[in-house]
Amino acid sequence: MKNLKYKIFAFTLLFSIVVIAQQTPAPKQTKAIAIMGAIAHIGNGTVINNSCLIIKNGKIETIANAEQIKIDLKGMEVINASGQHIYPGFIAPNSTLGLVEVDAVRASNDLREVGAMNPHIRSLIAYNTESKVIESMRPNGVLMGQITPRGGRISGTSSIVQFDAWNWEDAVVKEDDGIHMNWPNAYSRGRWWLGEPSNLKPNKKYNEQVTTLNNYITESKAYNAGNKSPRHLPYEALQGLFNGSKKLYIHVDDQKGITDAINFSKKNNIKQIVIVGGYQANMVTNLLKQNNVPVLLQRVHSNSDSDDDNYDATYTLANELVNAGVLVGLENAGQMERMNARNLPFLAGTCAAYGLSKEQALSLITLNTAIILGIDTKVGSLEVGKDATLFISEGDALDMRTNKLTKAYIQGRDISLESHQTELYKRYSNKYKQ
């Protein structure tokens, strides 16, 4: 009887593992692939209407007009994609994918650490490649992401991964790319649960909180310039901000906060910064341009923050910034951010509907984001020598009605487009057919 119980437990555990596990990562590319006849959206604004794209050893070897070149296709796997579209893999910045599986289960939540100053906390080592949420990104063309911690004043360090891997070591595209800072709010709303008015009011501790940040950065610079004894891991983690090897991602929305954050970075000789959120970035475009500061815009499908703003303020913001010459990418943080990251291409589609061209909107989630994250030499566009991280869609990938992937590749590997949702769809479709 005891042995029977052990057998039942072992079978149950094995079944749970099989059900929970993501699809097995695709094997390494062994045969050259030629994709012929598709409309290729390069990611930099260029479109090739009848393209020839060749993938070899995980890299893009050729991308050209099929009518203008002669290629010997012998020995290659040839895919006829006539009438379809090829896109670079979409990139989801400022994402918590792989850090939380079930919000209500504490053991599956590695979103944040206790404490206010955590620059040494590395999100990468908590990244779970087996997440069911991650596999649901791929059928919409979201093939990479910047895995970012939350919480505190300095949340920690992000890394960039691709979404088809056995473990975080295999997944990493760029390790420890930047440190994330939550800028103090210059204004706050009343606490409704205490019966306070909901209107904005100045944050009386704002200057004190900015001073605390300045002091922390000053102390870390002094530490890194000295003998580093005794060892201080948080200060060591900030060294990359001063030598230019890491970027500082400053999460801030309001005009005053953006202005103060840029001045703070200049004062402390922080070489590379990125504004994340940037709701009022259109009010400081000259400052952003003068200091070469890019913006990762908050979720486009959000309500306006103020009653005085236009109803479509979030929809048109990308167009305003692009027209002003600011480098812009899109992020999807906010409510249900992990699950909603799959809708990233449709946020870009909304930007196209509100002023940008389709190719400009595409750049917001491909090449622009790659440049902002510092991975544009590897990914972000369909160019020779870059990773073959791309997909084929039956129609316009920025339109939810026509974004229907037929093939997707990560570093040349032919990945699965199945997910927990597609498996359930097939399961219950067959049930009712029977």
pLDDT in tens, 65-85: 999 988 889 999 999 999 999
Residue-wise pLDDT tens digits, 86-143: 999 999 999 999 998 887 787 788 888 889 999 999 999 999 999 989 999 999 999 9
Could you tell me the pLDDT band of residue 49, with boundaries at 50, 70 and 90? Answer: very high
Identify the domain containing residue 211 by its residue range: 94-379
| Residue 232 and residue 121 share a domain | yes
| Residue 185 and residue 60 share a domain | no
Which has the closest alpha carbon to 252: 244, 264, 261, 243?
Answer: 261
Domain count, the chain: 2
Residue-wise pLDDT tens digits, 173-227: 999 999 999 999 988 777 777 777 777 788 889 999 999 999 999 999 999 998 8
| Residue 310 and residue 411 share a domain | no
Contact (CB, 8 A) for 396 and 197? no
| Residue 223 and residue 85 share a domain | no
Which has the closest alpha carbon to 126: 85, 90, 94, 97?
Answer: 97
Residue 22: pLDDT over 90: no
Bridge partners for 340 per DSSP = none
| Residue 375 and residue 254 share a domain | yes
| Residue 130 and residue 32 share a domain | no
Report the CATH number that the domain containing residue 330 is assigned in CATH: 3.20.20.140
| Residue 59 and residue 139 share a domain | no
Which of 357, 379, 401 is the endpoint of a domain? 379
| Residue 249 and residue 398 share a domain | no
Contact (CB, 8 A) for 331 and 364? no
Could you tell me the pLDDT band of residue 335, with boundaries at 50, 70 and 90? Answer: low
| Residue 138 and residue 76 share a domain | no
| Residue 385 and residue 374 share a domain | no
Contact (CB, 8 A) for 78 and 69? no
| Residue 120 and residue 56 share a domain | no
The Cα–Cα gap between 101 and 338 comes to: 9
Residue 428 lies in a domain: no
Report the CATH number that the domain containing residue 40 is assigned in CATH: 2.30.40.10
| pLDDT number for residue 9 | 44
Residue-wise pLDDT tens digits, 405-430: 999 999 999 999 998 888 888 888 88
Residue 328 lies in a domain: yes
Residue 135 lies in a domain: yes
Residue 434 lies in a domain: no
